[in-house]
Amino acid sequence: MTMEKTKTTVLIVDDDFDFRNQMEIQLKAAGYQVVTAQGQADAEKKLKDLCPDIAVIDLMMENTDGGFALCYHIKKLYPSVPVIIVTAVTSETGYEFDASTAEEKSWIKADRMLTKPVRFEQLDGEIQKLLNR
Amino acid sequence: METLRVLVVDDEPGMLSSIQRVLRNTRIDLADLETQVNFDVQTSDTGEKALEIISNSPPDILLLDHQLPGMSGLDVLDNIADQKENILTVMITAYASLETAVVAIKRGAYDFLAKPFTPGELKATIRKTAKSLIVTRHARKLAREKRQVRFQFISVLAHELKSPIAALEGYLNIIKDKTAGDDPAVYEKMLDRCSIRLDGMRKLIFDLLDLTRIESGQKKRELNIVDLREIAQRSIESVLPQADSRSITINLLADEKLNMTADPGEIEIILNNLISNAVKYNRDNGRVNIVMTARNGKVNISVSDTGIGMSQQETDRLFNDFVRIKNAKTRNILGSGLGLSIMKKLVNLYEGEISVQSTPDAGTTFTAVLNQHIQQPQENAVLTQHTQQPQENDEHPTNHQVA
């Protein structure tokens, strides 16, 4: 089964206005439905009435690991919704975060980790891959 | 207390045991490095055994007799030449055999002891060697830490510069591909965002240059008698457009003649930062109160706002490089994260202190206390006396009301 973009709602959570804005413009141009949130608290509020098809969230927001907490929250509410965590943390601290091994997946909970800067084509590709699984 | 490991290599059992006895009872006090040193002694009666011990667990100091039954002391020295940074060797030579001592030093020994020597001579040589070892290690450690701090600073800086570049690049791609449709107004907004991010980047670079100049001491200071009120008024004027657009009132309450010995450029940076922060982190229709007084040779500058405030946790980390308080309330406020680092370093130049008091959702007060007259130039001695008279600020307030 392949997905239909027009029926796909992407939740974008990032405290960087420009990143949010650009992803929204490009995802909409590609045919997706888009809902944005400015941070963890805002996203949790919106998730009460909204079950997105996929969520793309920033790691470092109000709290340094706000993205992990939000990811956990989404997975608890909607276990089948894929979550992509986008972060600049790798280049910032030298720490490598990647949900590739089973062990890492079990505690990070995200389906995919991407490092900023993220090109739209790359994000679009990852979304399609996760939704067509 | 640090323990240095000493390996003594000699084929005379009497010599080994007496060196061992002396060193076990030796404790060296290195007061200038705030440490004490004692010794853990191991012995070997041949060069071959010594090399085995060295390869298994290298000592800090090697006391090495030249005349050994098998391989000589100099042979041992040659074998460990690549470790001379970490193992300091003291060559034990026969009396009047200065030649061997010279050769040993040339091949990397740190020092030599001529037989027969007294316990005092042994202690003095060991003391010198241990001190050199510890000073060198200390210096290496400091250099490593400095590199680490520098690396972290540059990593974060690179990140702070990459974010605006990514934002600009993103918009340029959207504009180039016309991804956002045909409405020109949408693209105008993107161009506005590009300008805002560029301004932020420029501010970061300027702040960085300021910080680097202050830290390196490269910035030339021109100390003059300056009028603080005048500088504060200039700072206020520079933030008026932002303050007016959000109906924020700025009050200046200061002594009529508030002179201090200072570099006007430095004071301007301090005041600009304090006042523009008070406007930036304020609420619409808020107030900024600037109170400046001079008493007992100290100038007190306090800038309060009626803004969003901070928690204790947030104020604790505030003065670190690149720290910006990230929360829902500060989301749309731009800054380089270096303003307060710069201010703190400048305030230090005036033997002063800067502190912050804040209540979430009520406001923040920054207080800088500076020495009124640092490195007073001779020709201004008269002025000092004049301005150091206590001035009762409350009796003659001059109120500068804006907006």
Does residue B176 sit at the A interface (CB-CB below 8 Å)? Answer: no
| Percentage of chain A modeled with pLDDT above 90 | 45
Q: Which of B95, B111, B143 is the last residue of a domain?
A: B143
Q: What is the CATH number of the domain that holds B270?
A: 3.30.565.10
Q: Which of A21, A86, A114, A120 to mutate to test the interface with B (most CBs of B within 10 A)?
A: A21
Residue of B nearest to A89 (CA): B159
To the nearest whole angstrom, how far is the Cα of B190 from the nearest Cα of chain A?
9
Look up the domain containing B114 and give its range. Answer: 2-143
Does pTM top 0.90 for this prediction?
no
- Give me the DSSP letters along A14-63: -S-HHHHHHHHHHHHHTT-EEEEESSHHHHHHHHTS---SEEEEESSSSS
ipTM: 0.84
The 3 state secondary structure assigned to B139-184 is HHHHHHHHHHHHHHHHHHHHHHHHHHHHHHHHHHHHHHHCCCCCCH
Does residue B229 sit at the A interface (CB-CB below 8 Å)? Answer: no
B261 and B376 co-located in one domain: yes
B114 and B255 co-located in one domain: no
pLDDT reported for residue A102: 61
**Is B167 in contact with A62 (Cβ distance < 8 A)?**
no
Name the residue among A15, A21, A117 with its Cβ closest to that of B326. Answer: A15
Going by pLDDT thresholds of 50, 70 and 90, the confidence category of residue A59 is confident
Residues of B in contact with A115 (CB under 8 A): none
Buried b (16+ CB within 10 A) or exposed e, B179-202: bbeeeeeebeebeebbeebeebbe
To the nearest whole angstrom, how far is the Cα of B394 from the nearest Cα of chain A?
42
Let me know if residue B201 belongs to a domain.
no
Residues of B in contact with A18 (CB under 8 A): 167, 170-171, 193, 197
pLDDT greater at residue A65 or residue B308: B308
Q: B146 Cβ partners below 8 Å, 6+ apart?
A: none
To the nearest whole angstrom, how far is the Cα of A121 from the nearest Cα of chain B?
12
Domain count, chain B: 2
Q: Which of B143, B171, B202 is the last residue of a domain?
A: B143
Going by pLDDT thresholds of 50, 70 and 90, the confidence category of residue A94 is very low
Residue of B nearest to A64 (CA): B326
To the nearest whole angstrom, how far is the Cα of A25 from the nearest Cα of chain B?
6
**Is A91 in contact with B326 (Cβ distance < 8 A)?**
no
**Is A16 in contact with B180 (Cβ distance < 8 A)?**
no
Q: Which of B143, B167, B197 is the last residue of a domain?
A: B143
Phi, psi of B257 (to 5 degrees): -115, 100
C-alpha distances in angstroms, A18 versus A56, B174, B193, B398? 15, 12, 8, 44
Residues of B in contact with A88 (CB under 8 A): 159, 162-163
B229 and B375 co-located in one domain: yes
pLDDT reported for residue B328: 58
pLDDT reported for residue B394: 39
Buried b (16+ CB within 10 A) or exposed e, B261-289: bbbbebbbbbbbbbbbbbbbbbbeebbbb
Q: Which of B172, B179, B192 to mutate to test the interface with A (most CBs of A within 10 A)?
A: B179
**Is A93 in contact with B155 (Cβ distance < 8 A)?**
yes
C-alpha distances in angstroms, A110 versus A45, A47, A78, A93, A130? 20, 17, 13, 20, 11
**Is A25 in contact with B179 (Cβ distance < 8 A)?**
yes
The answer, yes or no, to whether residue A132 has pLDDT greater than 60, is: yes
- Residue B83 and residue A14: Cα distance in Å, rounded? 53
Which residues 19-38 of A are in CB contact (within 8 Å) with B? Answer: 19, 21-22, 25-26, 29, 38
Amino acid in the structure at residue A131: L
CATH of domain A5-93+113-131: 3.40.50.2300
The answer, yes or no, to whether residue A65 has pLDDT greater than 80, is: no
pLDDT reported for residue A91: 46
pLDDT reported for residue A109: 74
Residue of B nearest to A120 (CA): B170
B17 and B123 co-located in one domain: yes
Q: pLDDT digit of tens for each residue in chain B (403 aa)?
A: 889 999 999 999 999 999 999 999 889 888 877 889 999 999 999 999 999 999 999 999 999 998 899 999 999 999 998 888 889 999 998 766 788 888 888 989 999 998 889 999 999 999 999 999 999 998 999 999 888 878 877 877 887 788 889 999 999 999 999 999 999 999 999 999 999 999 888 988 888 888 888 878 777 778 889 999 999 999 999 889 889 989 999 999 998 888 999 988 889 889 998 998 899 889 999 999 999 999 888 999 999 999 888 888 788 877 777 766 666 566 556 666 788 888 888 898 898 999 999 888 889 999 999 998 886 444 433 333 333 344 444 334 344 444 3
pLDDT reported for residue B326: 61
Q: What is the CATH number of the domain that holds B39?
A: 3.40.50.2300
Does residue B280 sit at the A interface (CB-CB below 8 Å)? Answer: no
Which residues 63-102 of A are in CB contact (within 8 Å) with B? Answer: 88, 91-94
pLDDT reported for residue B389: 40
Show me where the domains of chain A are located: 5-93+113-131
- Residue B170 and residue B158: Cα distance in Å, rounded? 18
B139 and B228 co-located in one domain: no
Let me know if residue B158 belongs to a domain.
no
Let me know if residue B354 belongs to a domain.
yes
Tell me the β-bridge partners of A13. A37, A57
**Is B328 in contact with A18 (Cβ distance < 8 A)?**
no
Name the residue among B163, B167, B326 with its Cβ closest to that of A62. Answer: B326
**Is A26 in contact with B179 (Cβ distance < 8 A)?**
yes
C-alpha distances in angstroms, B386 versus B261, B352, B379, B390? 13, 22, 13, 10
Q: Report CA Rg, chain A.
A: 14
